């Protein structure tokens, strides 16, 4: 696990964009394709907007999502909608695989599993203040799914119905990035990185502590508690 510290979210977005470009070029040169799962929420938006100006062969990138709220892409809560506004609608993408494609979250998850590759090159994730990641929330059964690649899940707040990649599937990726900014995330980040392991209480640990290659991109505000730990 590697931890990259940044003074500000803007510096984090710039550095993550540079690394993303390098990873994409390397994968496309080696395998002809770069397969990435985009994170939802608000933190990654700055990265996506920065990437919109990057020189990548976007037609060789396959875009998936780590999770999605069960709403249409036009809904302001949609992770797909945010990514399309910030990046996908601004570059020449060719392969985009939205999660909400069927009448129920369970049907969406089942359809998504047919599309997902054996393993992704990169999974982008955020971190909730309660220690969730993707749509793996504390106290919910989703974090313990070991067989399936994608499942329906429930969130305690906001849009309740979700579709999410399972921790087991995310842990098969070549690389997982957590993007974490803001003082509100400090306690959760400290628990993920240094707290007792309890996936029901802090689901992000199920990926952060078990994926073979994990990198954290965090700003000073989110790292505050760790300085005090
Ligand atoms: C979602 C996200 C979720 C997000 C965290 C952090 O659909 O809500 O996938 O896991 O990454 O809640 O959200 P922010 O970046 O908005 O703080």
Number of domains in the chain: 1
Sign of CA dihedral 76, 182, 194, 175: positive
Cα 110 to averaged position of ligand 1 atoms, centre (Å): 22
DSSP strands (E only) in 33-181: 34-38, 61-65, 67-69, 95-96, 122-125, 150-154, 161-165, 175-180
Q: Ligand 1: does its nearest atom lie under 6 Å from the Cβ of 206?
A: no
- Which CATH number do you get for residue 98? 3.40.50.1360
**Can you give the pLDDT of all 229 residues of the chain as single tens digits?**
999 999 999 999 999 999 999 999 999 999 999 999 999 999 999 999 999 999 999 999 999 999 999 999 999 999 999 999 999 999 999 999 999 999 999 999 999 999 999 999 999 999 999 999 999 999 999 999 999 999 999 999 999 999 999 999 999 999 999 999 999 999 999 999 999 999 999 999 999 999 999 999 999 999 986 765 4
Q: Ligand 1: does its nearest atom lie under 6 Å from the Cβ of 134?
A: yes
Q: Ligand 1: does its nearest atom lie under 6 Å from the Cβ of 79?
A: yes
Cα 175 to averaged position of ligand 1 atoms, centre (Å): 19
In sequence order, what are the residues at sequence separation of 6 or more whose Cβ sits closer than 8 angstroms to the Cβ of residue 107?
none
Q: Ligand 1: does its nearest atom lie under 6 Å from the Cβ of 81?
A: no
CB count in 10 Å sphere of residue 114 = 8
Q: Ligand 1: does its nearest atom lie under 6 Å from the Cβ of 138?
A: no
Of 163, 116, 112, whose CA–CA distance to 142 is shortest? 163
pTM of the full predicted structure? 0.98
Residue pair 107/115 in contact by the 8 Å Cβ criterion: no
Cα 31 to averaged position of ligand 1 atoms, centre (Å): 30
Give first-to-last CA distance, the chain, whole Å. 18
pLDDT, averaged across the chain = 97
Range of the domain at 215: 2-228
Give residue for tokens 């502590």.
209
Of 229, 116, 92, whose CA–CA distance to 169 is shortest? 116
pLDDT one-digit tens code per residue, 161-170: 999 999 999 9
| C-alpha–C-alpha distance, residues 217 and 13, integer Å | 9
SS3 71: coil
The burial of 154, by beta-carbon neighbours within 10 Å (0-12 exposed, 13-18 middle, 19 or more buried), is given as middle
pLDDT one-digit tens code per residue, 7-45: 999 999 999 999 999 999 999 999 999 999 999 999 999
């Amino acid at each position: 696990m590697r931890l990259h510290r940044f003074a500000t979210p803007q510096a984090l977005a710039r550095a993550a964009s540079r690394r993303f470009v390098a990873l994409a070029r390397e994968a496309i040169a080696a395998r002809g394709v770069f397969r990435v799962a985009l994170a939802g929420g608000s933190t990654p938006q700055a990265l996506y907007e920065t990437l919109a100006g990057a020189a990548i062969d976007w037609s060789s990138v396959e875009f998936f999502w780590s999770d999605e709220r069960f709403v249409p892409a036009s809904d302001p809560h949609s992770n797909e909608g945010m990514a399309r506004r910030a990046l996908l609608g601004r570059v020449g993408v060719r392969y985009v695989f939205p999660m909400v494609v069927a009448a129920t979250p369970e049907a969406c998850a089942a359809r998504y599993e047919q599309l997902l590759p054996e393993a992704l090159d990169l999974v982008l994730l955020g971190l909730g203040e309660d220690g969730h990641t993707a749509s793996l929330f504390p106290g919910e059964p989703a974090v313990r799914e070991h067989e399936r690649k994608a499942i329906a899940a429930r969130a305690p707040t906001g849009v309740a119905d979700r579709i999410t990649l399972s921790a087991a599937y995310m842990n098969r990726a070549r690389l997982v990035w957590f993007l974490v900014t803001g003082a509100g995330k400090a306690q959760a980040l400290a628990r993920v990185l240094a707290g007792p392991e309890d996936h029901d209480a802090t689901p992000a640990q199920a990926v952060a502590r078990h994926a073979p290659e994990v990198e954290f991109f965090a700003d000073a505000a989110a790292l505050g508690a760790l300085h005090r730990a």
